[in-house]
Structure 1
Amino acid sequence: MKTKLRFALRPLLAAALLVLGGAASAQVFRDNALQALLDAERHAELDRIALQRVTAQADDAQAVLALGLSALRGNDAPRREAAIQRAEACLQKAPQAAPCHYALGTVLGVHAMSQGMLKIAASVGTVKESLLQAMTLDPQWYPARSAVVEFYLMAPGFAGGSVAKAQEAARTAAKPEQQQALEARVALHEERFDAALKLLHELRPGADSALADDAAQWAAAAGFGLLKAGRADAARPVFERLLQQRPDQAIGAYGLARVATDANAPAEAVRLLQQSAKLKGAENLPLDYRLGIALQVQGQNDAARAAYDRFIKAGRGARSALDDAKKRLAALSANG
């Protein structure tokens, strides 16, 4: 059961890293102007300015980093490939640029996972070395260390993955609060959800919003882990806390909708899913799939069909959810 749950949780954890803003989406930049645009979620302007700067200077590490983070939004393979090429060009001119190592490692890692096992096998060494270089060159930069811990936990042993290595990277973090957060991430990987949540709830990230972002992501992942383990009552306060602390983010209401579904309260699930749809990060969640299920349970088949159809056409969900939505839509259509 434990092994099965771990493999089921991995795609959820990967999604969580992007849902709430990507790999430490806040406090990434040393450049205050770029950071301000990111904080304000003015992504189009950030991309435009970063592209102008990289075009003028290939080793503008902060601009390369901005375009790397941009490439992680959505599922755009050509955009990821362009970001990888820019990071490589930056490193040819500035091999000590930690942001360019970070951009190369993170974007190449996501790109390889989207391309299948052969691409993963061919790229994993570069991903590992790039992330380690970023952390070594700037050991106090939290996003790089967080990415290294994530790599060690998610990569198989033959590729250098190791819980022991992840724990060591966590223990040697620059600040106690970084160490605490990363130790929670290790506990989450080991499905020690209660231990992970205790560490995260006691965490005081201060002004480090990158750390706060990770803490929220990992708390959400722990909540979903509890749901998968059949512990909906334990998951409920996790999502209530997220909704209270981050009322503008979709994940809290979405998690509570999942709890309501497990509690056989489809009307409450529909209300929460509709609330979640209006909040930040909603586009990265399978809201229409879950909405279709909740509506179908209530016998609102026309509305359920419309929700499934939107989800399938968007094409952004997990393969298992897309396949199930197609089956449900076909069955509803067959029954009139």
Structure 2
Amino acid sequence: MNTIVRDSLLLTLLTSIGFSIIAQQAHAHEYEALIKAKKYAEVEKATSLKLATEPNNPDALVAKTELILIEGKENRLDEASKIAEQCIAHNPKNSECHEALGNVLGTKAMRGGVMSAISYVGKIRDSFRKAIELDPNNFSARSSLMQFYLQAPSFVGGGKDKAKDLIVETIKVSPSAGALLQASLDLYEDNFDRASSVALAVNTTQSEALAKHQRNVLSGIGHALITEKRMAQAEKIFQELCNRFPDSIHGYYGLGKALQEQGKIKDALPHLEKSLAIEANANVLYRLGKAWQSLGDKIKAIAAFEKALSFKPELAKKTKADAEEQLKALKG
């Protein structure tokens, strides 16, 4: 395989894994509700207390890795991988420990570039496989493994055939989860209409884990539709996300992004602000900065860009560079 093509495929894989980690985090554990509520200081305190008396408690160790990933500091990723490995060493049959290692290694590889990817990619795949083996109902690990198969080149164990096998295997455990993986495959094959109809048809009212999976799949479809300039369909998907998951950032952010990409800045603004009210993150702040800049409000634009640039996890390199450039122009 051509080296440039191989490296490009690996970087695509890492981007996919990185998105999956940010979107889903780990499987359910004792501290999940606090993390969901963004009470990170409380989680840090509670896990430290737990580990003081139970140094190998799996829930506390998994939560520790999540906090490091949320913090977004690259210099703590080695610490996170050691925590995940400790979790596995003392709790080898705990699915969440293996998933946590996959998430951490995926982030390390994404930050480290191609050579890092080559060294970690097999471990990432095997971590998600083991998590599923230990807990067939670990749907976030199934989703991460699905993305691995779809994005990874065959020389590191990827491929559509393996993705299809995972769908068949998953349907035996949960037809709903299998349908959501099928929607991911349809999206990968650019069959947007089928991906949308399949994902929307899944009833997830009885399972929070499946609902989270559905939300992430629909969000991925919506953003892909924006990339393809199919804005009307994207708006419908994100509006449906707003209706189904009113307490989630995904629908409002996506709807704001879709409208903003069409130049409908005033229409986009309330959706972006609603998104920010639910959950502050760098991407929302960046888009708010662009919106206020377009509307001629320099003060609000500067404030939004500054917050976006200081936020953790931080913006992607290209977006960060643009935010810095816009901020410089606004202050010039």
TM-align CA RMSD: 2.8
1:266 maps to a residue whose letter is I
Q: Does 2:69 align with 1:72? A: yes
What is the number of equivalent residue pairs in this alignment?
321
Determine the C-alpha separation between the residues in 1 that align with 2:301 and 2:37.
Answer: 35
Q: CA deviation at 1:39?
A: 5.8
Q: Which residue of 2 aligns with 1:326?
A: 324
CA pair 10-242 structure 1, distance change in 2 beyond 3 A: farther
Contact 1:71–1:107 under 8 Å retained in 2? no
Q: Which residue of 2 aligns with 1:121?
A: 118
* Percent of aligned positions that are identical: 28
Q: Which residue of 1 aligns with 2:175?
A: 176
4+ aligned runs moved over 6 Å, structure 1: 6-12
Contact 1:64–1:99 under 8 Å retained in 2? no
CA pair 156-303 structure 1, distance change in 2 beyond 3 A: same
Q: Does 2:110 align with 1:106? A: no
Determine the C-alpha separation between the residues in 2 that align with 1:55 and 1:328.
Answer: 47
Determine the C-alpha separation between the residues in 2 that align with 1:8 and 1:193.
Answer: 24
Q: Which residue of 1 aligns with 2:226?
A: 227
Contact 1:16–1:220 under 8 Å retained in 2? no
What stretches of structure 2 of length at least 5 have no aligned partner?
1-8
1:212 maps to a residue whose letter is A
CA pair 101-24 structure 1, distance change in 2 beyond 3 A: closer
CA pair 190-108 structure 1, distance change in 2 beyond 3 A: same
Q: Does 2:215 align with 1:213? A: no
Determine the C-alpha separation between the residues in 1 that align with 2:211 and 2:304.
Answer: 33
Determine the C-alpha separation between the residues in 2 that align with 1:68 and 1:126.
Answer: 17
CA pair 271-99 structure 1, distance change in 2 beyond 3 A: closer
Determine the C-alpha separation between the residues in 2 that align with 1:261 and 1:293.
Answer: 9
SS of equivalent residue, structure 1 residue 72: helix
User: Matches of residues 1-336 of structure 1 in structure 2 within 5 Å?
Assistant: 17-18=20-21, 20=23, 22-23=24-25, 28-29=28-29, 33-34=30-31, 37=34, 42-173=39-170, 174-280=173-279, 282-283=280-281, 285-314=282-311, 316-334=314-332
TM-score of the pair, normalised by structure 1: 0.84
Determine the C-alpha separation between the residues in 1 that align with 2:16 and 2:116.
Answer: 21
Contact 1:102–1:144 under 8 Å retained in 2? yes
Q: CA deviation at 1:172?
A: 0.5
Determine the C-alpha separation between the residues in 2 that align with 1:77 and 1:150.
Answer: 23
Determine the C-alpha separation between the residues in 1 that align with 2:271 and 2:221.
Answer: 20
